[in-house]
Amino acid sequence: YSFFEGRPTWPEYHRDLTYAFLPDNELSNTTKEVFTRAFERWAAVTTLTFTETDSYYEADLKVAFYTGDHGDGEPFDGVLGTLAHAFSPTSGRFHLDGAETWVAEGDVTKSSTSSAIDLESVAVHEIGHLLGLGHSSVEEAIMYPTISAKTRKVELASDDIQGIQELYGANSNYTTPPSSSSPNSHQENTSNGGDH
Amino acid sequence: RIHPNISPTPPWQVPNDTAKGAWDSFKNFTGCRPGQKSDGLSKLKDYFKNFGYIPDSQHNFTDDFDDELESAIKTYQKNFNLNVTGELDDKTIENLMKSRCGNADIVNGTSTMNSGKPASSNSSLNFHAVRH
Q: What is the pLDDT of residues A104-148, one digit of tens each?
A: 988 899 888 889 999 999 999 999 999 999 999 999 999 999 999
* ipTM confidence: 0.89
A108 chain-B contacts, CB cut-off 8 A: 6
- Chain B nearest-CA residue for A163: B122
How many CB pairs lie under 8 A apart between chains A and B?
Answer: 168
Least confident stretch, A61-70, A120-129, B53-62, B104-113: B104-113
Q: Which residues of B15-38 are buried (b: 16+ CB within 10 A; e: fewer)?
A: eeeebebbbeebeebeebeeeeeb
Residue B81 has pLDDT above 90, yes or no: yes
Catalytic hit among A100, A120, A126, A140: A126
Strand B110-111 and strand B106-107: the pairing is antiparallel
Task: Write the pLDDT tens digit of every residue in A11-66.
Answer: 999 999 999 999 999 999 999 999 999 999 999 999 999 999 999 999 999 999 99
CA distance B33 to chain A (A): 24
Residue A192 has pLDDT above 70, yes or no: no
Put simply, whether A161 touches B (Cβ < 8 Å) is: no
Interface test with B, best of A25, A80, A97, A160 (most B CBs within 10 A): A80
Residue B83 has pLDDT above 90, yes or no: yes
- Specify the pLDDT at position B88: 96
CA distance B26 to chain A (A): 12
B98 chain-A contacts, CB cut-off 8 A: 146-148
Put simply, whether B13 touches A (Cβ < 8 Å) is: no
What gap in Å lies between CA B10 and CA A112, rounded to an integer?
9
Mean pLDDT, rounded, of chain B: 80
A179 chain-B contacts, CB cut-off 8 A: 124-125
Q: Is A126 a catalytic residue?
A: yes
In the Cβ-directed half-sphere of A107, how many Cα atoms lie within 13 Å? 7
Residue A188 has pLDDT above 60, yes or no: no
Specify the DSSP class assigned to residue B110: E
Burial of A154 (0-12, 13-18, 19+ CB in 10 A): buried
B87-91 own/partner pairs: CB under 8 Å, 24+ apart: B87/B31, B87/B32, B87/B33, B87/B34, B88/B29, B88/B30, B88/B31, B88/B32, B88/B33, B88/B44, B89/B30, B89/B31, B90/B30
Residue A85 has pLDDT above 80, yes or no: yes
Higher pLDDT, B115 or A87: A87
Put simply, whether B109 touches A (Cβ < 8 Å) is: no
Please list, in sequence order, all residues whose beta carbon lies within 8 angstroms of the beta carbon of residue B121, skipping any fewer than 6 positions away: none
Please list, in sequence order, all residues whose beta carbon lies within 8 angstroms of the beta carbon of residue A69, skipping any fewer than 6 positions away: A75
A126 chain-B contacts, CB cut-off 8 A: 101
- Chain A nearest-CA residue for B19: A79
Put simply, whether B26 touches A (Cβ < 8 Å) is: no
What gap in Å lies between CA B2 and CA A118, rounded to an integer?
10
Interface test with A, best of B20, B99, B117, B121 (most A CBs within 10 A): B99
3-state secondary structure of A41: helix
Is the separation of the CB atoms in A60 and A101 below 8 Å?
no
A85 chain-B contacts, CB cut-off 8 A: 101-103
